[in-house]
Amino acid sequence: MQDIEQNSGEDELIRLLLKRQSELNSLLEVTRAINKNTSTPLLIQMLEAILQSYLHVGRFRFLIEKDNNFACISKYGGQIEQTGILSKACASLHKIKSPESLANNANPVLSKYDYFIPIYHKNKALAYALIGDFDTSGEMLNNDLNFIQTLVNVVVVALENKKLFKERLQAERLQREMELAAEVQNMLIPLRVHKETAVEIGARYLPHQNIGGDYFDFIRLNENEFLWCIADVSGKGVSAALLMANFQATLHAWTAVEDDLTNIVERLNQKVIDNTKGERFITLFLAKYNQTTRKLNYINSGHNPTILYSNGEAVPLKLGTTMIGAFEQLPFLNQGEVDIEPGSLLFNYTDGLLDIEPSGDKKWNEELLLDFVIARGEEDPDNFNQALLDHLNFNLKGKPIDDITMLTLRIF
């Protein structure tokens, strides 16, 4: 009899050792797969195979936290429940932090399973596992439950690391995209201060973030004529910067061979449509000045109107059309013409200047901007721009919510 009991004990020990060896081999296989950056579906398949083959788990549900909700990423055995129902049932056990028997549980969903296994990190639930139809002996139960919890925890950590790595890659990619876009835009912004016999120019560009969608340009056409524009491209990032670069190239190409602003704007509209298929648009103020005739021709394409200051009066230049790139054919197109008196100031800006949110009961709008231009219109362009920024900073104390670009010209 003693020999029989001794043999039985040895057999049980051997069985236990073999089982532990199988568990270690399973963990080793999963760890190797994780180190090889195995895909999530394959990791889940390995988990399911281990649970079914080694541990004889007949029913399994594995829910993992994602964006403050739980998604069921593994399910086999029995009738499949809706994820929302499973998640709500598991959440009712939020106070349980270790494997728990579901015997006699009152919840009709949970009562179909044998055990509940939660995975927590710093009091935050990362995952829930439900196991049912679990064929194991009483002596091995605690060991098996602990092993399942360890196995599930390893998979959860791997998935969390995958998520963090993906987020880091996306952040790095976005950062690089912003850097590239900023480099493109810096190449497109042509000047800050410019002065010649006929005109003096001051420009300020204040991006709200690293890269904005604003653009301005000044082109000397010949000894008697020059052209300038200010524009705002919808969107941010590399795609907006590339659209801006293409827009600049098209503008320079057509202004070199085309005298009529109407034709130039139509060509620009068609080019933006071809490139973006109507998914992006550009607001634009485009003007050409003849020093001999002192006539200014302009087209405002849905942009904030340039303000002309002369002899103590400020007039917004509004004639033009709708934004570029919104329609295959521009619905209307009117070209404005203005006689320019010596010493006139032309103030161009993007909508970020008016989008500033003043603090307290302060107000800021186009009418108040006109008043400012009248009050400071005799300043030279660079001083005018700085005075306006000082006014915004010290008087309004507001915060910009978009890019601000100012292009100011004094025509002699």
Q: pTM for this structure?
A: 0.60
The encoded tokens of residue 377 equal 């219109």
159 lies in the same domain as 233: no
The encoded tokens of residue 142 equal 């605690």
Question: What pairing do the DSSP bridges indicate for beta strands 295-301 and 320-321?
Answer: parallel
**Neighbour order of strands in the sheet with 115-121:** 69-76, 57-66, 124-134, 115-121, 100-101
234 lies in the same domain as 86: no
What CATH number is attached to the domain comprising 282?
A: 3.60.40.10
Among the candidates 139, 164, 189, a domain finishes at 164
150 lies in the same domain as 216: no
131 in a structural domain: yes
User: How many domains does one find in the chain?
Assistant: 2
pLDDT at position 10 over 60: yes
Q: What is the pLDDT of residues 311-344, one digit of tens each?
A: 999 999 999 999 999 999 999 999 999 999 999 9
Among the candidates 110, 138, 164, a domain finishes at 164
Q: What is the pLDDT of residues 106-139, one digit of tens each?
A: 999 999 999 999 999 888 899 999 999 987 766 6
362 lies in the same domain as 339: yes
User: What is the mean pLDDT of the segment spanning 403-407?
Assistant: 89
User: Residue 16 has what pLDDT?
Assistant: 58
Among the candidates 140, 164, 188, a domain finishes at 164
pLDDT at position 283 over 90: yes
251 lies in the same domain as 369: yes
User: Residue 209 has what pLDDT?
Assistant: 61
User: Residue 56 has what pLDDT?
Assistant: 87
Residue 29 belongs to what domain range? 2-164
pLDDT at position 184 over 70: no
What CATH number is attached to the domain comprising 28?
A: 3.30.450.40
70 lies in the same domain as 205: no
Q: Among the residues of 192-342, which ranges form H helices?
A: 237-257, 261-276
* 244 vs 335 pLDDT, higher one: 335
Which residues have a Cβ under 8 Å from the Cβ of 377 and sit 6 or more positions away? 309, 312, 314, 345, 384
128 lies in the same domain as 152: yes
Half-sphere exposure of 29 (CA within 13 A, CB side): 15
Confidence band for 15, pLDDT divided at 50, 70 and 90 = low
235 lies in the same domain as 308: yes
59 lies in the same domain as 207: no
User: Residue 371 has what pLDDT?
Assistant: 96
Average per-residue pLDDT for the chain: 86
261 in a structural domain: yes
